Amino acid sequence: MANLRFSPGLLSSIRDFGSSLTQAPASQTSTLTGAGVQPASLGGMLVRNVGNLMGKDMRTPQEKLAEAQQGINLGTYEGQIAAAQARLKFETDPVKKEEIGKQIINLQNSQAQADRAAAAEDRRIAQEKAKVKRKENIVFSLKSLGANDIAGYVEDTTYTPSEGAQHLGTLLRAQKVAEQDLEGQQAIVQAVGYDKQDRFSTLFGEEAKPMSTGLFNTFIREAIADVAKDKALTSLRSMEQTPNVETAIELVENGLMSGGKAGALAIKKDNITVPKNGEFKLNDGTAVATSVVNGELRYWDTTAAEFVAPTTDNPLVPIVAKGKQVKITPASIKSLATVLSVDSGILDEAQIERYGLLSGQDKYSFNIAATHLADLRSKENNTPVEAEMQKAVIDLLDSEYYTSEAGTFAFGFGKDATARFVMPETFSEFGISTTAKTEPTVETTTAPTQIIVVTQDLLNSSPSLRAKNVKVGDRVEVSR
């Protein structure tokens, strides 16, 4: 094969072929010499073909750049920096190289700033998760100790996790105090500032004596819960006393709602009447507080923390005796508080401890049953309700309607006993004569007379009710 000879101009064109990212367009060049030869021109194609024959990489800088930038994600700082670095590699113009270099520095600074922000956000999320986990652990531990009320206050933020941890520590220390250890019990009570409370009065003074471990733990739990309750009540009583606020106060006082949820109820837009207690129960024997909400009779659901409407599957059942729906009297409420008071000395330690195992809805149901039973016996025996309350409380504690679960040891610490209580179906077994059993209903009793809850529609259609100044939510007795 004959030896190929190329002119110096052609060799120069091959050497400088497409050497700049910013060459003039092909229409501005027509010679085969110099760096101005463009690949798209006839001369450019000749130069490229000859160069390829000589084994030279004849790709243009633009083509090399496009290949280097292939697959780069320009939506990220990393991708933008990589694209700029590829351009810098193939750029020959000193001014443009300097501009690209500055652009890379700015992108790197922005990336560093974004990385720091992302790292801070990751730390924040990790801290929030740790806080949530810590709170969950504290709540679980409190519930494992039987301190459901206190756990609820931690869940609804009445108590912070730190406060919950402190109370958990107090409960654990109380568990470890030896039976009848007066000094140990005094030390714990004084450490948490409860030494002035009436429930701990027997631990101090000239006739100081220790409590049983069970009673001491019960009182510590109650004291911790009462601090949160008092805090919530103080806040609610400082507000304008609207029906909603009064409703929240009533529910908190009765242990049916924690303070953290009371604020939301107090500012609700619903038209709520102040709850009535002791008139209805559910099918499972749980006594419930009822209220007329926007003209409709509803009951307080402690789980949902709101008033809910009764249903066919879960109706309201009137609490009746002798054919009539019973009501709680102020005298019976006051008498129950006296009987349950430690200072009164009416109940012994074992009875106070058993009552103290009740909480929330169970304690509410017990109190309703006790006040009704004492009231009914008072009327039947023609005696003061105060004379009947002690026996009513003791009889209910000893009845089948009160059940308790013995304490266990699990998860590294002891679990205190807990108790449940449901309303009796009737009060006849407690010596109340002619007590009528009632079938489940929403707004009526099954007695010879019928009790109905007045709705707005009923009031609008009944001139006689309006003439009697009956209001929506009132309960009236009519013949069947």
* pLDDT tens digits for range 235-280: 888 888 888 888 889 888 888 888 778 877 887 777 888 888 888 9
Interval 287-296 mean pLDDT: 89
Phi-psi sector, 9: left (phi>0), alpha (psi -120 to 50), beta: alpha
Count of CB atoms situated within 10 Å of the CB of 397: 21
More confident position, 94 or 408: 94
Tell me: the pLDDT tens digits for 21-36?
555 444 444 333 334 4
Tokens 């106070």, located at residue: 352
Strand partners, 281: 287, 317
| pLDDT recorded at residue 294 | 86
- With a pLDDT cut of 70, the percent of the chain lying above it is 75
- 37, pLDDT greater than 80: no
| pLDDT recorded at residue 268 | 78
Q: Over the Cα atoms of the chain, what is R_g?
A: 41
Tell me: the pLDDT tens digits for 306-332?
899 998 888 988 887 766 777 788 888
| Start-end of H helices in 343-433 | 349-356, 360-381, 385-397
- Name the average pLDDT for the chain: 78
Which H or E element spans position 190? helix 182-191
Quick one: pLDDT band at residue 58, thresholds 50, 70, 90?
low
Tokens 């701990």, located at residue: 200
- 5, pLDDT greater than 60: no
* Residue 441 contacts residue 297 (beta carbons within 8 Å): no
d(CA 67, CA 448): 95
| pLDDT recorded at residue 28 | 40
Q: Residue 448: phi, psi to the nearest 5? A: -55, -30
Tokens 């998860």, located at residue: 411
Strand partners, 405: 418
State the Cα torsion 265-266-267-269 to the nearest 10°.
70
* Residue 307 contacts residue 275 (beta carbons within 8 Å): no
Tell me: the pLDDT tens digits for 425-476?
888 888 876 544 444 444 433 333 445 666 666 666 666 666 667 777 676 6
| pLDDT recorded at residue 444 | 36
Which tokens sit at 470? Answer: 């009956």
The distance between the two most distant Cα atoms of the chain, rounded to a whole number of Å, is 140
- DSSP class per residue in 315-342: --EE-EETTEE----HHHHHHHHHHH-T
d(CA 215, CA 350): 8
Quick one: pLDDT band at residue 90, thresholds 50, 70, 90?
confident
Count of CB atoms situated within 10 Å of the CB of 323: 14
- 157, pLDDT greater than 90: no
Quick one: pLDDT band at residue 421, thresholds 50, 70, 90?
very high
| pLDDT recorded at residue 442 | 44
Interval 191-215 mean pLDDT: 88
Interval 349-367 mean pLDDT: 89
Amino acid found at 200: F
The residues, any chain, with a CB within 8 Å of residue 420's CB and separated by 6 or more, are: 358, 362, 402, 403, 404, 405
* Residue 435 contacts residue 428 (beta carbons within 8 Å): yes
Count of CB atoms situated within 10 Å of the CB of 407: 17
